[in-house]
Amino acid sequence: MAKAEHLKKLIASFGRTQEFRTAALRIIDDAQQQGKKPLADSLRKILDANVRQGYQTSPQPGLTTLTSQIDPATDLIDAIEVTRGLGDIVLNTDGRQLIECIIEERRRSEELRRHRLPISARLLFAGPPGCGKTMCAEVVARELSLPLYSARIDVIISSFLGETASNLRRLFEFATRTPCVLFFDEFDALARTRADTGEHNELRRVVNSLLLMIERFKGPGVIIAATNLPQYLDEALWRRFDEIVSFEAPGEREISELLVRQFANFPANFELTAFVGKLTGMSYADIERICIDAIKKAVLKKRKSVSETEFAVALRQETRRKGLTSRRSQ
């Protein structure tokens, strides 16, 4: 039976679509929590078929939105193409060891289960932009042969607050019945600390439900949350994750490795190591952009290799670009 207060809200919201939807979703949640899943599912179908939501679900560039209308979580995720594996990513020794360990654990999960050992299913990737958090989610999916779905945080955080917790529930149910890597980018947007003084009570409730959902999640897939603002995450969240992977800007060894990879198919005709010092402090994405720019310049000049001058020009352009973007963000 739905809670009386939710029924009252439903009747009071007559004529106001968004409010009606939220009140109806609360009633669906009630049914779900009371173990009446078939009733909850059929109510949701009726609601989705008759009461339209106020947000748009158009695909983002580079991402394929699932077209299937069958799964009730379709509007909350984007499918991401998976192409790159462990051999494509540069990681420091600790990072590589941790990621390889996680992959190995999942691949041999049956052996671990036989010994009643838990399997890591909840990962938190933290670190500055352009250092491989999203790429690593792709690598994990590829190595485990799982599809990769990115949670649409903008849609999940409904402008109509009551829907956020119920959207999250739908998403976690999806990840429980679908073997996949479910990626929560910009996780801090969802999991801001409950102590944030400016936060609405409702948001605090959302973080509480999120904590519970993460705690209860056991797979079959993997949940990966990523943030470049770990300081904003609610403290209680950290211990809900099985592993925390720190991504950092590349050191000298990683820069050299990245340069070798970037010029594997289109060579450089100068000593790459001479530039390692000048690239220190930049992210992997910045360095990758410099290499691609330099290669483009050489290709357009119809040359077979990149010269030191082309690389130096690309580096100067990137430094100028960074100067402009950092000034704009001040």
Closest alpha carbon to 227 in 329, 127, 107, 120: 127
> Which spans in the chain are helix H?
4-12, 17-33, 37-50, 93-107, 109-114, 133-144, 153-156, 162-177, 201-216, 235-238, 252-262, 276-279, 284-300, 308-328
Instruction: List the single partner that 323 binds among Mg ion, ligand ATP, none, CB under 5 to 8 Å by kind.
Output: none
Does residue 288 bind ligand ATP (CB under 6 A)? yes
Q: Which is nearer to Mg ion, 228 or 262 (CB)?
A: 228
Tell me which stretch binds ligand ATP (CB under 6 A): 18-26, 65-73, 123-131, 298-306. 123-131
Which amino acid would we find at residue 233? Answer: L
Q: Which of 9, 120, 123, 132 binds ligand ATP (CB under 6 A)?
A: 132
State how far the Cα of 188 lies from the Cα of 170, in Å rounded to an integer: 20
Does residue 141 bind ligand ATP (CB under 6 A)? no
Does residue 248 bind ligand ATP (CB under 6 A)? no
| Site size toward Mg ion, by CB under 5 A | 2
Q: Which of 134, 158, 166, 167 binds Mg ion (CB under 5 A)?
A: 134
Tell me which stretch binds Mg ion (CB under 5 A): 48-56, 133-141, 142-150, 237-245. 133-141
The DSSP-derived string for 56-67 is: --PPPTT-BPP-
Q: Which of 22, 74, 134, 150 binds ligand ATP (CB under 6 A)?
A: 134
Minimum distance from residue 2 beta carbon to ligand ATP (Å): 40
CB burial readout 201-240, b (16+ within 10 A) else e: eebeebbebbbebbeebeeebbbbbbbbebeebbeebeeb
Q: Do residues 152 and 117 lie in contact, with contact meaning Cβ atoms separated by under 8 Å?
A: no
Does residue 44 bind ligand ATP (CB under 6 A)? no
3-state secondary structure of 153: helix
Tell me which stretch binds ligand ATP (CB under 6 A): 14-22, 45-53, 85-93, 305-313. 85-93
Tell me which stretch binds Mg ion (CB under 5 A): 64-72, 134-142, 249-257, 283-291. 134-142
State how far the Cα of 64 lies from the Cα of 78, in Å rounded to an integer: 6
Question: Strands 148-151, 77-80: parallel, antiparallel or unpaired by DSSP?
Answer: antiparallel
Q: Which is nearer to ligand ATP, 172 or 284 (CB)?
A: 284
Q: Which is nearer to ligand ATP, 90 or 165 (CB)?
A: 90
Does residue 167 bind Mg ion (CB under 5 A)? no
Instruction: List the single partner that 89 binds among ligand ATP, Mg ion, none, CB under 5 to 8 Å by kind.
Output: ligand ATP
Instruction: List the single partner that 272 binds among ligand ATP, Mg ion, none, CB under 5 to 8 Å by kind.
Output: none
Q: Which two tokens stand for residue 181?
A: 């890597």
State how far the Cα of 112 lies from the Cα of 49, in Å rounded to an integer: 43
Residues found near Mg ion in the complex (CB under 5 A): 133-134
Provide the binding-site residues for ligand ATP, judged by CB under 6 A: 89-91, 129-135, 228, 247, 258, 284-285, 288
